[in-house]
């Protein structure tokens, strides 16, 4: 897919005014322009996803432009909130991220593309999907990425940031994801707005931000919970 077109499709997800802003916050900061190498990485990633999707079910979304907005747009929207741009570069701290139920790599791998200095662990129990993730990491020559082809409830490590998209068995996976967050760390969930009360009820010991509403969606949003230090 043409990298320039990818950049144009992603622009709404990278604007500051795509988040909740108060009237006193001033004019929105222009969206950062993704470097050419990041756009090329995304183009390569899409090509791999479409090729593999013909053999294994990685995503029900088949059109490349829809893949850009739904998968990469949502993931980079989350990345922008978690790792804000400072002096033209995304923050490199906190360094450890765990993505639970990565599937085809979202949001974990786009977050890694956004902030290359972080270390990302992708947890995906489906062996075929894990093989695909390894192929993407190899093709994009990414370092600092671990892929664990195991159930998330068997993982014995913790991270400063844990990410999760609303998935099947959400009610059982979310409490497990919460246990992987270090005290003082953050849990970031891409979710449908009607699911937010349920998500809050499933995990305790977190202070939640107001929802960040996603562009081009009537009800999808990002919520971020800060884990209390004594948990």
For position 211, what pLDDT does the model report?
96
Q: 152-174 burial, b if ≥16 CB within 10 A, otherwise e?
A: beebeeebbbbbbbbeeebeebb
For position 168, what pLDDT does the model report?
72
Residue 77 pLDDT level (bands cut at 50, 70, 90)? very high
CA–CA separation, 129 vs 131, rounded Å?
Answer: 5
CA–CA separation, 208 vs 193, rounded Å?
Answer: 14
Q: What is the mean pLDDT of residues 203-230?
A: 94
C-alpha neighbours within 13 Å on the C-beta side of residue 78: 33
- Of 53-67, 109-123, 155-169, the least confident: 155-169
Q: Domain tally for the chain?
A: 1
Contact criterion met (CB below 8 Å) for 184 and 227: yes
CA–CA separation, 114 vs 29, rounded Å?
Answer: 18
Residue 72 is given by DSSP the state: I
- pLDDT of residue 19 exceeding 50, the answer is no
- The H-or-E segment that residue 34 falls in is none
Q: What is the mean pLDDT of residues 88-96?
A: 64
CATH value at residue 198: 3.40.50.150
- The H-or-E segment that residue 27 falls in is none
- pLDDT of residue 27 exceeding 60, the answer is no
Expressed as residue numbers, the domain containing 54 is 3-227
């Amino acid at each position: 897919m043409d990298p320039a077109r990818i950049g144009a499709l992603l622009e709404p997800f990278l604007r500051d005014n795509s988040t909740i802003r108060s009237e006193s916050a001033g004019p929105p900061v222009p969206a950062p322009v993704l470097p050419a190498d990041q756009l090329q990485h995304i183009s390569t990633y899409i090509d791999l996803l479409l090729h593999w999707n013909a053999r294994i079910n990685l995503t029900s979304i088949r059109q490349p432009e829809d893949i850009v907005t739904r998968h990469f747009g949502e993931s980079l929207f989350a990345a922008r909130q978690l790792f804000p741009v400072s002096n033209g570069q995304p923050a490199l701290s906190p360094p450890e991220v765990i993505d639970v139920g990565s599937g085809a790599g979202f949001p974990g791998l786009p977050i890694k593309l956004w902030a290359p200095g972080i270390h990302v662990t992708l947890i995906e129990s489906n062996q075929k999907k894990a093989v695909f993730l390894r192929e993407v990491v190899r093709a994009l020559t990414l370092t600092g990425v671990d892929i664990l082809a195991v159930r998330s409830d068997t993982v014995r490590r913790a991270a400063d940031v844990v990410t999760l998209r609303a998935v099947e068995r959400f009610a059982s996976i979310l409490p497990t994801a919460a246990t992987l967050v270090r005290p003082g760390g953050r849990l970031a969930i891409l979710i449908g707005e009607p699911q937010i009360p349920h998500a809050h009820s499933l995990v305790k010991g977190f202070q939640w931000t107001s929802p960040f509403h996603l562009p081009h969606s009537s009800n999808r949003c990002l919520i971020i919970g800060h884990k209390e230090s004594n948990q």
